A and B are shown apart, each in its own frame.
Chain A
Amino acid sequence: MQADFFAKKRRNSIGFFAILAAITVGAIIITEYDIVKGFESLPRAVTWALGNFYPTQESLVKLPDILSSLIETLLVSIAATSIGAVFALFFALMGSNTTRVNAFFGSISRAIATLFRNIDVAAWALILLFSFGQSSLTGYFALFFGSFGFLTRAFVETIDEVSGGSVEALRATGANYASIIFQSVIPSSVPQMLSWVLFMIETNIRSATLIGLLTGSGIGFTFNLYYKSLNYDIASLVVVTIIISILLIESISNYVRRVIL
């Protein structure tokens, strides 16, 4: 009996790894990925980076330009996240099983959020590029749509998790819808929601770099400009400023999270 159990377990895990290996081989063939080249290029990239990819004295001249586009990118990400959060709060209240008005609106708001969440921000950026051109607004709206979709899902989960019992209790006392929402649901889920918003800001700053590359604005564009013109020292300075700002924002939000949760 026990021997059977272990034999079956082994058979199962061997089968699982065999399937994984088969898919890996298939993926390597279809993407034309060269394993040898992959391993070869790793040390080559490291030696190249150590030799060329560091900021020099001359590149510091460009620092004010870089900082101004970095601040633009940071502001775009923060504004997109907070406006996205306001919309997401409304849609989450409509979509959550505990607070929705009726099942019809509930499934509609969930469907809208699913649609926005599953179209990647890069795709949104390319779509919005048609009407907004190379302005900050392209990146802003792309990040806004992405954050809205993601935060709606996160907020719905938060509301369901935090306020099941208290909503029922308040409803039993005869409280109306508005007071249930403002006195119970929102106060009890604000810390968790804020934590999600901070997470989204961190993610958005990274995505903003990518969007900048695609749409020609912000810090991504600055990086691309120097990268394409082979000014690797200035490009590396851009990377360093991005790293510092992301680590800074991560530590601020970790601190806030520790205090509020």
Chain B
Amino acid sequence: MEANEQVVSGEPMLESPSKPIKIKILTKSTIAIRITLLALAFLTVYAFFSFDYKEIDFGEAILATFANIKAMFFEAHFNHFTFTHAFYQVLITLGLAFLTTIFGAIIAVFLGLLAAENLTSKRVSAVIKGIVAFIRAVPTVLWVLIFAVAAGLGSVAAVIGMTFHSVSYLVKAYSESFEELDNGVIEALQASGASFWQIIFQAVIPSSLTYMISWTFLRFEINFAVAVAMGAAAGAGGIGFDMFMASNFYLDIREIGTITYFILAIAILLEVFATKFKKKLRVNG
């Protein structure tokens, strides 16, 4: 990937025509792009030398993977559970994702209002944004496992742990869309004697509702994937747990294929629904 910024400067017009026109200029951003690309390339090469390969025959493993993927997708079957059971487990995973998203959204609206610079003071906003960045830095699975010590493994720990991450993600998205609101609108309402909550519910939230809904739905899609992962890694139940059992205990690649089909179907369904929904919102809004 060559990164030659083509900036035609205004200068050459004044110079003698015999000189070639200089079209490649090193700006600060060009240098930054090159350094970043070089650093990534170097780290990637270094990574391949430092990997812990554990004496795996690379070619053989690749071939085995292809064979596994083929078996998985073309010979998918039910062995340890039935179609209805799998469907019910998918519903549980969807339920976990939904609860997490709705709890996260409710908390995030209030924190997002506090985190928007134009609605509160700069200091309050900085504190909330700092806390949120800290929460986001801890991977979701670690939140779930930390809560599992207090609440026990299961849906309670999973929902609370996943909610933490959803809140921090949504607070960032919501507060950014609140901050885009024109200051004049708030000033006009304040001048007419509107209270804080009236400003929030009549101006701030209606104007950013479209953004909020599309971010929330995007988070729901992410939460579905996270809920599958939490079922596998933190015993949260749902289809993820069946997948973990099929992989680590029954060693049944064909059953994993069935589960993958279920997850894939839901994920694509959600994506299609989200695209349709967004189009409809754009037309109405």
A interface residues with partner B (beta carbon < 8 Å):
20, 23-24, 26-28, 30-34, 37-38, 41-42, 44-45, 48-49, 53, 72, 75-76, 78-79, 81-83, 89, 114-115, 118-123, 126-137, 140-141, 182-183, 186-187, 190-191, 194, 197-198, 206-207, 209-210, 213-214, 217, 220, 223, 227, 232, 239, 242-243, 246-247, 250, 256, 259-261
Contact = CB atoms under 8 A, between A and B. Distances in A.
B156 to A, nearest CB: 5
B228 A242 contact: no
B76 interface: no
Given A135-B52, A242-B138, A126 B150 contact: no
Contact of A194 (B33, B41, B134): B33
Contact of B150 (A45, A76, A115, A209): A45
Given A31-B92, A127-B72, 6 more contacts: A34-B156, A79-B43, A79-B48, A126-B256, A190-B1, A261-B29
B149 A118 contact: no
Nearest to A244: B137
A80 to B, nearest CB: 9
Contacts of A27: 94-96, 98-99
Interface of B: prevailing SS: helix
A126 B247 contact: yes
Nearest to B238: A31
A90 B137 CA distance: 31
11 contacts: A24-B99, A24-B102, A30-B95, A32-B154, A122-B232, A123-B228, A126-B247, A130-B65, A183-B6, A186-B2, A210-B141
B46 A75 contact: yes
Interface in B24-75: 28-29, 32-33, 36-37, 40-41, 43-44, 46-48, 50-54, 56, 58, 61-62, 64-65, 68-69, 72
A132 B256 contact: no
A31 B51 contact: no
Given A82-B40, A129-B247, A118 B268 contact: yes
Contact of B98 (A23, A45, A75, A246): A23
A133 B54 contact: yes
B228 A31 contact: no
A13 B32 CA distance: 48
Interface stretch (B11-19, B113-121, B173-181, B259-267): B259-267
B156 A119 contact: no
A245 B98 CA distance: 31
Contacts of B263: 118-120, 123
A81 B41 CA distance: 11
